[in-house]
Amino acid sequence: MTTSRKKRMCLLTYARQGLDLRQVNIRLTKACLDPINELDWSLWVNHYLPIVDNNLYFERALIDQNRSLAWFAREMYARKKKTNLS
Protein backbone atom coordinates (compact mmCIF):
# COMPACT_ATOMS: atom_id res chain seq x y z
CA MET A 1 0.00 0.00 0.00
CA THR A 2 1.41 3.38 -0.95
CA THR A 3 1.73 6.16 1.59
CA SER A 4 -0.83 8.33 -0.19
CA ARG A 5 -3.34 5.48 -0.32
CA LYS A 6 -2.72 4.77 3.34
CA LYS A 7 -3.22 8.43 4.16
CA ARG A 8 -6.49 8.59 2.20
CA MET A 9 -7.75 5.51 4.03
CA CYS A 10 -6.82 7.09 7.36
CA LEU A 11 -8.45 10.42 6.48
CA LEU A 12 -11.70 8.75 5.46
CA THR A 13 -11.72 6.69 8.65
CA TYR A 14 -11.03 9.76 10.80
CA ALA A 15 -13.75 11.75 9.01
CA ARG A 16 -16.22 8.95 9.70
CA GLN A 17 -15.18 8.96 13.35
CA GLY A 18 -15.86 12.70 13.59
CA LEU A 19 -12.37 13.63 14.76
CA ASP A 20 -11.19 17.22 14.78
CA LEU A 21 -8.08 18.47 12.96
CA ARG A 22 -5.85 18.29 16.02
CA GLN A 23 -6.78 14.66 16.68
CA VAL A 24 -6.31 13.80 13.00
CA ASN A 25 -2.84 15.30 12.86
CA ILE A 26 -1.79 13.49 16.03
CA ARG A 27 -2.90 10.17 14.54
CA LEU A 28 -1.30 10.90 11.17
CA THR A 29 1.99 11.75 12.84
CA LYS A 30 1.87 8.53 14.87
CA ALA A 31 1.32 6.63 11.62
CA CYS A 32 4.41 8.37 10.13
CA LEU A 33 2.27 10.38 7.72
CA ASP A 34 2.38 14.11 7.08
CA PRO A 35 -0.20 16.25 8.91
CA ILE A 36 -2.84 18.12 6.94
CA ASN A 37 -4.09 21.68 7.11
CA GLU A 38 -7.53 22.96 8.01
CA LEU A 39 -8.63 23.47 4.41
CA ASP A 40 -7.77 19.89 3.42
CA TRP A 41 -9.53 18.50 6.48
CA SER A 42 -12.59 20.61 5.69
CA LEU A 43 -12.67 19.09 2.18
CA TRP A 44 -12.61 15.58 3.64
CA VAL A 45 -15.32 16.23 6.21
CA ASN A 46 -17.64 18.42 4.15
CA HIS A 47 -17.23 17.00 0.65
CA TYR A 48 -15.48 13.66 0.30
CA LEU A 49 -17.21 11.97 3.24
CA PRO A 50 -20.78 12.76 2.12
CA ILE A 51 -19.98 11.72 -1.46
CA VAL A 52 -18.47 8.33 -0.61
CA ASP A 53 -20.67 7.49 2.35
CA ASN A 54 -22.79 4.42 1.50
CA ASN A 55 -21.28 4.19 -1.99
CA LEU A 56 -18.54 1.58 -2.31
CA TYR A 57 -17.79 2.51 -5.93
CA PHE A 58 -17.06 6.12 -4.99
CA GLU A 59 -15.13 5.05 -1.89
CA ARG A 60 -12.83 2.82 -3.97
CA ALA A 61 -12.43 5.61 -6.55
CA LEU A 62 -11.30 7.96 -3.80
CA ILE A 63 -9.01 5.56 -1.95
CA ASP A 64 -7.53 3.50 -4.79
CA GLN A 65 -7.56 5.98 -7.66
CA ASN A 66 -7.25 9.30 -5.79
CA ARG A 67 -10.13 10.86 -7.72
CA SER A 68 -10.63 14.62 -7.42
CA LEU A 69 -13.76 16.48 -6.42
CA ALA A 70 -14.15 17.50 -10.08
CA TRP A 71 -14.23 13.82 -11.10
CA PHE A 72 -16.92 13.10 -8.52
CA ALA A 73 -18.96 16.07 -9.70
CA ARG A 74 -18.79 14.90 -13.33
CA GLU A 75 -19.62 11.31 -12.36
CA MET A 76 -22.57 12.36 -10.21
CA TYR A 77 -23.85 14.66 -12.96
CA ALA A 78 -23.59 11.88 -15.55
CA ARG A 79 -25.44 9.48 -13.26
CA LYS A 80 -28.18 12.01 -12.59
CA LYS A 81 -28.51 12.79 -16.28
CA LYS A 82 -28.72 9.07 -17.12
CA THR A 83 -31.38 8.54 -14.42
CA ASN A 84 -33.44 11.47 -15.70
CA LEU A 85 -33.37 10.07 -19.24
CA SER A 86 -34.61 6.65 -18.12
Q: Check pLDDT > 60 for residue 1.
A: no
In the predicted model, what is the mean pLDDT of residues 18-22? 97
Provide the residue range defining the domain that includes 46. Answer: 3-85
Instruction: Please state the domain count of the chain.
Output: 1
Q: How far is CA 48 from CA 25, 30, 31, 84, 85, in A?
A: 18, 23, 21, 24, 27
In the predicted model, what is the mean pLDDT of residues 52-56? 94
Q: Check pLDDT > 90 for residue 74.
A: yes
Give the per-residue pLDDT at 80: 87
Q: Check pLDDT > 90 for residue 37.
A: yes
Question: pTM (2 decimals)?
Answer: 0.88
